[in-house]
Structures are given as structure tokens and as C-alpha cells.
Amino acid sequence: MAVPKLEQLSKSVVQGPSLATGAIPTMDWMEYPAVFKSGNYAYPAKSEKVAYLDSQSGLHFPNSREWSPEDDDWKLPADWKEIILKGLKERLEKFRSLKIFMDCCVRCGACADKCHFFLGTGDPKNMPVMRAELLRSVYRNDFTLAGKILGKMAGAREMTVAVLKEWFMYSYQCTECRRCSVFCPYGIDTAEVTMMLRELLHLVGVGINWVLEPVSNSNRTGNHMGLQPHTFKDNVEFLVDDVESLTGVRPNVSFNRKGAEVLFITPSADVFAEPGLYTAMGYLTLFEAIGLDYTWSTYASEGGNFGLFTNNETMKKLNAKMYAEAKRLGVKYIIGGECGHMWRVVHQYMDTMNGPADFLEKPVSPITGTVFENAASTKMVHISEFTADLIKHGKLKFDKSRNSHVKATYHDSCNTARAMGLLDEPRYILDHIVDWVEMPENTIREQTFCCGSGTGLNTDEIMELRMRSGLPRANAVKYVHDKHDVNMLACVCAIDRATLTSLMDYWNPGVRVCGISELLANALVLEGENRADLDDGFRTML
Amino acid sequence: MKYAFSFLAVIALVLIAGLGSQIPGMPYLFGVALPYLALMIFLGGCVYRVVQWAKSPVPFSIQTTCGQGKSLDFIKHDRLEAPNTTAEVVARMFLEIVTFRSLFRNTKSEIYDGPQITYESSKWLWMFALIFHYSFLVIVVRHMRLFLDPVPVWISWLEYGDGLFQVGAPTWYITDIGLLAGVALLFSRRLITRHVRFISLMNDYFPLVLIFGIALSGILMRYFLRTDIDIVNIKQLAVGLVTFSPTIGAEIGAIFYIHLFLVCALLAYFPFSKLMHFAGVFMSPTRNMKNTSRAKRHINPWNPRILPHSYAGYEDEFREFMVDAGIPVEKELAPKKDED
């Protein structure tokens, strides 16, 4: 599906008839069907990927088949409706959040224009409240007295194939960024709703390939790129070579080494493609500079967890590798690289799902002696926390002028901001290494806008959708690009590094995307370095 | 249509009470039986709903952090927005419930040519909600004077404060106007703001119209139809109701029964509706959990036993490559048999 020209889309988002631009729908929302056409949906998961996952212990991915969203017949199992309703009942019993969020919404509409999908598409069903109503209407019909008695009058509707199709469309037009939950007076979190919808859809074999293929890769090879151990090692070693040729210092690396003090885990995208590669070079350079005793793992070679975009069982199974590997290698604790949703899992789920990690020790920085009390139980420290602490103690020497080609701004990734509260550590680092400015206040920190392609929506067949949903973020970058000549969008998220690059190329050509660790390494003065004049930092072609 | 239905429903309720209470013998139904029934449904229903919620566990720590979490000493912790202790959570919840803090954050987005998206602070909803809820609260508390004998002095103070503006005779309470205005504003918002209109259900219009009916009948009774009712008899009935010895003296007047019947309808409707948000807000996991999930393990009572794809299985699949690449392995390759 071709992406529309910038001029076309720029006009369309402002003038196209949509709820965001002022067009008022004439029918009741229940009357509008979800219509699938090329470009507005992500490809369904390949049958063999679903079957593979179903064969794995602890996972449940039944009803694998070839199907297409554009077909009338989705080849659902005969008892699909019972499966869905039973699944919903089970989840209401397992998750208080779901019950509360189904019952408490007053439809005040505070969330409506907080969603980047709504702002970019103007589709009323992309208002968070409406997205939840898609499920809430079925919940009312089958699980509440008022709905059972009053039916449609009380906003209830029967579960039908059309409803299921609508669920598929809109649970994959949500990146579970949780921005709406900041503004909701009851803290209703659409991510919880979307996660449940996706779980339910998987029960009837409805899922997307861009989520399930990475999941099966992560399960089998340890990382979502599907890099096998030797390839993973090769990739990292290429980066080691690059760092050496740029700085004259060759970082020491090891893989699956027992007895290392620290296990380092980062999203595999960082060792796979630009611009993540430069972030990975940043980690290598930093760890070399402080002489950290650490190891990479090829088995736990993925920080990201596409299970989070699937169901809680899959999230747990993928995440379990981190502790399993830490235990096998006998490390003291884990440091995690720059990634958004990985850190949602690590901060909010890991210990609960796979803890207690009593075979690890409370993380202590070997360089500064700082005890990371905030990670006392999970035993996993964020690279930005670790780095900020080093800077505070004067353990790193910077030459800020090495970043003089950069004017940066900082993008808070949704998960580190709203599911962790990691806001000021990256800013603290930036203050020491680069000249940077903030984007407008309603688009940063807890109010940050998603890149528009998270939760497995980073796939090319929905590029127009991604450019639309990324518009609020891109627009805020444009503001500082125009006003302050910002040319670099720094972030702490691997999905951001991949997707914001496409987004900037489309909306704001001239703005590049990088990880914090890349800028850090640019400015870092290494002992014994023999550094050429790198006018583009670590991106300089020698 | 949805709001029209709501009006019709409330008008029907008014007619039932207005006409029904005039049939001899019926005052006992409207004045005694129904209030007891409605109150039972209200209390029982609310308890039932809260128990139903509480029955489902909170498997994961899903706090929404709206500020800097507690980490390093030199990073300033936002204690309200990323609470770390129970006291901080209580403070966060208190401000949420008492000042509607999240609504206070509300912004309005507009999209202009360019494209250019702007976000402007928008406090209207917050203001309407505050006017509405606080007026309602004060009115409910003021009504306690009917049920208590003697009337506690603090209720008199509250009434004095509420009537401070000294408008009209008898003095108008500011909260009476507040409630009517609050309901009217919230209702018109549903009609005028396009996205709110699109999402509004009858479930949203009906309670507003019902509360408007309650406020209006109360105001009529207090300020305009005062001669139709007998306040002494009402007080006697109210005190009788709370002491479980209700008596209805002389005729009280239809307007009173209309008012009371609408209140009964609201009480009975309450537990089955979105109005339960008053209790749900206390239990919302994104707001009432501490942001200590890395420092202290949160327990999921149904945590399933799921093991990762094992390292052994992984090494079995890739051992040859690993050995070739010089990656340490647990089990060396089986020695190759020489083949001639």
C-alpha cells in the first residue's frame, strides 16, 4: 500500500471529514461496520507461526489457519462465540482492572482527543473511550443486569462476527501507550482493555504476523530478529570493530560468560539495524570506559518482549529467559538497555511473573558503590539510571563539543514515562553531553506522545496509519525543529529508534533519531583513545 | 433520541409519584415502603458491586506514573505522581477524589493547516464536575437535618454558609443553583461537544435528567410551593424512617412524593449504573498502586507455571554454531567419528 504524498496527508488530517476535524457522524456508532482494505490492517499471523507457538508448553494459540481480514469469512471455529464469552468471563475473574474499567467509565470524553490514533485518523472508534466501549457493550450484554434487561438502550449489544472484526481493527490501532490513562479521572487504562481484546482474539486464532513472528523467533532463537547465536555474536563484534576504528579503543566483549558480574540485555534491534547500532556502540564504549565486568547472552538476547502485545502467558514465557540466564551464568544482577516496552515488562511484570530472583544480589554499581534500592527485588537496573549515577559521581569524562553537530530534543517513550516514571535520568545525562531543548509541554514526560507504531504495529503494510498516528509526536518535533533547529530526536526505546526514523523522514526530513547512549559515547573521552575528528560522531564514515 | 427517552422516563416517574401518591393509602407506599426498598437496593447493590470487584485479584502492578519515579538520590522524586509509600498513595488518591486532579490536567486539541496540532488547557469539564459533585454533596449533607433531631449545629453552619449570599426569601442556597447549573452544563456538553455526543448513551443522559428532576422538585418545594407541603409532617416522617417507626401525619403534598420518588429511583438505579464510579475510583489499580514494583515483589495469586524455552533445548539446536563461533557451551559436541 503506497503511502500518500506528504501534501496529501497533510491536507487530509486537517480537512478530511473526520470527527477530529469537525465532521459529525450521522449514525449511532454501533451502526458503522469495520471495513478492511489493503493498508488499513496488519497482515494476519502465518499459520505455521501460530501452530508453532501453540506447540510450546504453557502457551495456547489454537485455531491456526490461513485467513484474510478482507474476506467475509474469517474461518473462525464453529464455537467462536462461546470461546470469546468464556474467555471474557475468565478474564473478568482474573483481572480487577478489567472489571473496574468496564463498570466505571462515565463517558466524560476527557480521553477522546488524548489518543494519537484519534488525532491522526479522526476515526471516532479511536477515541479511547470508544475503543473500550467496543468491549464494554458486549460486557454489558452478557455480564450486567441492566444490559440483560434493557439491551441496546443500556448500550449493550450482542457478540457477533462484525463485533469481532471491529475488535481486531481497533485493538490493533492502539499502541497501549497509556496516555489516556493519565487524563482519565478514574485512571481507566485502555492498554488493559486492548490487551484483553488481543488475548481474546488469539483464542480464536486471530492475530497479526508482526507480533507473532517476533514472538516465535524470541522463543526459539532468543531474540525477535531470529538471530542465531553465532550471528548475534558476529553482529556485536562488527560493532566492536567499528568502535575501535572510530576511537582507537577496542571494547572488550564476551558472550554467555559464566561468572561475569553483570548480565547485559538490550533489544536485539540494537545490534541489527541503524540507528540502533550506534546505540549499541554506545553501550560497548561506555562499558569499556568504566571497565565493567559484564557479559552479553545469546540465549537471552532480546530485551523487548512481544509477548506483552499478545497475552500474559507469552509475556511470562519470553521474559523468563532473563532470570533463567542470569541464574545459569551466575551473575550478580542485570543491566537493561534502552527500550520502552521491555522496561514496562521489567518494571511492572517481571518480578511478579518470574521472581523472586533470590539467586541475584541487590544491584550495586561497581564503579560508584551506589546501591540501586529501587531495583532491590527485581535486580535489574536501567542503563540510564546506571549512567546518570556514573555522571553524578564524576566517573565519566565528556567533551561536549564532540556533539556540536547535534541539536537534540528528547522523546519520552510511553512505557518508561507512564509505566515506570523514568523521566529525569535521561535528561540528566543529556544535560552533560549535548545541547538540547524540550518539546512543548503537553507532549513530553507523562504526556508524551507515542511514536505511533508500538505494540507490534511497526510494519510497513500499515505505513499510512503509522504516519497518521505518529503525527502528534512528529508535529511536536517539527515545532522544535523549526524554532531551535533541532536535528536529532533522542530516545530510550528501540522501537522508537526504528519507527521514529520513518516518521521523521516523512514529516520532518533532516531530523535523525538516536539513543541516549549514542550521544553519550559521542561525547565520552576514553583513556588511551586515538580518535579521528568525527564530525558526525559515531556515525562518521571513515 | 437517547436524551429524549431519558426525559420521557423521568416524566413517567414524576407522573407515577404525583398521581399515585394521591390515591388513598398510597402515601405509605411512596413515603415508607419504596424509600426502604430503594435504600436496601442501594446499600445492598453497592456492597455487592464492591465485593464483586474485590473478588477479582490485581495480578500485576500496573500503576500509571505521571511523574518522576523514585530512583537515585539526586533525581527529584515526584511523590504524588509516582508514589512510593502508602502515605503517598493516599495523598494521590485523596487529591484525585477530592479535587479531580486528572481532570484538571485536561487539554483540548485542535488541528490546523500545516498540519499543526495544538493543545490548550481546558478546565471546563473539571469545573462543571466540581460544581456538580460538591453541590450534590452539600445538599445531601444539608438534608440530614430532616433525619436528625435535634439538628447538629454543624449542619446549621453549613446551611448558613450555603445561604451566605442572602438572595431571595426564603434564602436561596448557592448549592441548589450549583446543582441545577452543574447538571445543565454537563447535559449540554453531551449535546454540544461532538465527540462526547457520539459516545453518550442513555445511561449517561438518564441520571442527569433524573438528578435534574430531583433538584427541580426540591427547589419547587422549598421556594415556590411551600404552602402545599407540611414541613413538620415531613420531618416526622423522615425521623420515623431512620428510627424504624415511620408515621405519616396529615397530607404532605404531591410535590414531596415526586421528589422522594425520584430520589428512590436514583438510589435503586445507582448500583446498576456508571454512578458506581464513586466507589470504583478508590479501587482503580492505575491510581492506587505504589510505584515500587522493582523494589518489592508484587504477588499474582494465579501466577501460572510457565517455563521459558530451555537453555538446554536452545543449546541442543545451536550447539555446533556456538562451538564454531567460540561461544561457551554446557555440553561439548560429541566427538566426530572418523569416516574413512
The per-residue pLDDT for range A330-376, each reduced to its tens digit, is 999 999 999 999 999 999 999 999 999 999 999 999 999 999 999 99
In a domain, B302, yes or no: no
When CB atoms are compared, the residue of B72, B204, B283 closest to A100 is B283
- B317 and B277 both lie in a single domain: no
- A288 and A379 both lie in a single domain: yes
Confidence of residue A26 (pLDDT cuts 50, 70, 90): confident
- B184 and B235 both lie in a single domain: yes
At residue A1, the pLDDT reads 54
Read off the pLDDT of each residue in A475-479 and give the average, rounded to a whole number: 97
- B257 and B313 both lie in a single domain: no
User: Please, which residues 85-104 of chain B have a Cβ atom closer than 8 Å to chain A?
Assistant: 96, 100, 102-103
Number of domains in chain B: 2
- B132 and B266 both lie in a single domain: yes
A96 touches chain B (CB under 8 A): yes
In a domain, B303, yes or no: no
B72 touches chain A (CB under 8 A): yes
- A130 and A187 both lie in a single domain: yes
Other beta carbons less than 10 A from residue A522's beta carbon? 29
- A35 and A148 both lie in a single domain: yes
Cα B44 to Cα B14, B66, B256: the distances in Å are 25, 35, 26
In a domain, B298, yes or no: no
- B131 and B22 both lie in a single domain: yes
In a domain, B34, yes or no: yes
3-class SS of residue B112? strand
Retrieve residue B120's grid coordinates. Answer: 490548550
- A251 and A298 both lie in a single domain: yes
B22 touches chain A (CB under 8 A): no
Contact A182 B283 (CB under 8 A): no
Per-residue pLDDT at B220 exceeds 60: yes
Of A160-164, A193-197, B73-77, B161-165, the one with minimum mean pLDDT is B161-165
- B217 and B329 both lie in a single domain: no
In a domain, B304, yes or no: no
Chain B residues lying within 8 Å of A220, measured CB to CB: 309, 314, 317
User: Please, which residues 197-216 of chain A have a Cβ atom closer than 8 Å to chain B?
Assistant: none
Q: Which residues make Cβ contacts (< 8 Å) with residue B166, sequence separation at least 6? A: none
Contact B202 A153 (CB under 8 A): yes
A404 touches chain B (CB under 8 A): no
At residue A21, the pLDDT reads 84
The distance from CA A500 to its chain's CA centroid, rounded to whole angstroms, is 12
In a domain, B297, yes or no: no
Helix (H) / strand (E) containing A333 = strand A333-336
In a domain, A118, yes or no: yes
The distance from CA A116 to its chain's CA centroid, rounded to whole angstroms, is 15
- B270 and B327 both lie in a single domain: no
Per-residue pLDDT at B53 exceeds 80: yes
Choose one of A207, A234, A252: the last residue of a domain: A207
Number of domains in chain A: 2
In a domain, B301, yes or no: no
At residue A22, the pLDDT reads 82
Choose one of A207, A237, A266: the last residue of a domain: A207
In a domain, A62, yes or no: yes
Share of chain B above pLDDT 90, in %: 77
Confidence of residue B131 (pLDDT cuts 50, 70, 90): very high
- A67 and A165 both lie in a single domain: yes
In a domain, B299, yes or no: no
- B118 and B236 both lie in a single domain: yes
Please give the residue that has the higher pLDDT: either A17 or A187.
A187
Dihedral of alpha carbons B61, B67, B72, B76, sign: negative
- A531 and A515 both lie in a single domain: yes
- A500 and A361 both lie in a single domain: yes
Read off the pLDDT of each residue in A236-252 and give the average, rounded to a whole number: 97
Chain A residues lying within 8 Å of B199, measured CB to CB: 29, 107, 109, 112, 124, 127, 129-130, 133
Confidence of residue A119 (pLDDT cuts 50, 70, 90): very high
What's the CATH number where B242 sits?
Answer: 1.20.950.20
Choose one of A186, A207, A228: the last residue of a domain: A207
- B282 and B316 both lie in a single domain: no
User: Please, which residues 166-185 of chain A have a Cβ atom closer than 8 Å to chain B?
Assistant: 178, 181-185
- B283 and B315 both lie in a single domain: no
A424 lies in which domain range? 215-539
- A277 and A176 both lie in a single domain: no
User: Please, which residues 273-292 of chain A have a Cβ atom closer than 8 Å to chain B?
Assistant: none
Contact B303 A352 (CB under 8 A): yes
Per-residue pLDDT at B340 exceeds 70: no
At residue B338, the pLDDT reads 62
A21 touches chain B (CB under 8 A): yes
- Sequential DSSP letters for B259-328: HHHHHHHHHHHGGGSGGGHHHHGGG-HHHHS-S-TTTSPPP-TT----PPSPHHHHHHHHHHHHHHTT--
User: Please, which residues 119-148 of chain A have a Cβ atom closer than 8 Å to chain B?
Assistant: 119, 124, 127, 129-130, 133, 144-146
- A138 and A259 both lie in a single domain: no
What is the distance in angstroms between the Cα of B240 and the nearest Cα belonging to chain A?
33
3-class SS of residue B167? coil
Residue from A441, A430, A419 nearest A340 by CA: A419
B100 to chain A: nearest residue by CA?
A185
B74 lies in which domain range? 2-288
In a domain, A40, yes or no: yes
- A351 and A311 both lie in a single domain: yes
Q: Is B34 exposed, middle or buried (0-12, 13-18, 19+ CB in 10 A)?
A: buried
Share of chain A above pLDDT 90, in %: 94
- B148 and B180 both lie in a single domain: yes
- A171 and A244 both lie in a single domain: no
Read off the pLDDT of each residue in A163-192 and give the average, rounded to a whole number: 97
In a domain, A194, yes or no: yes
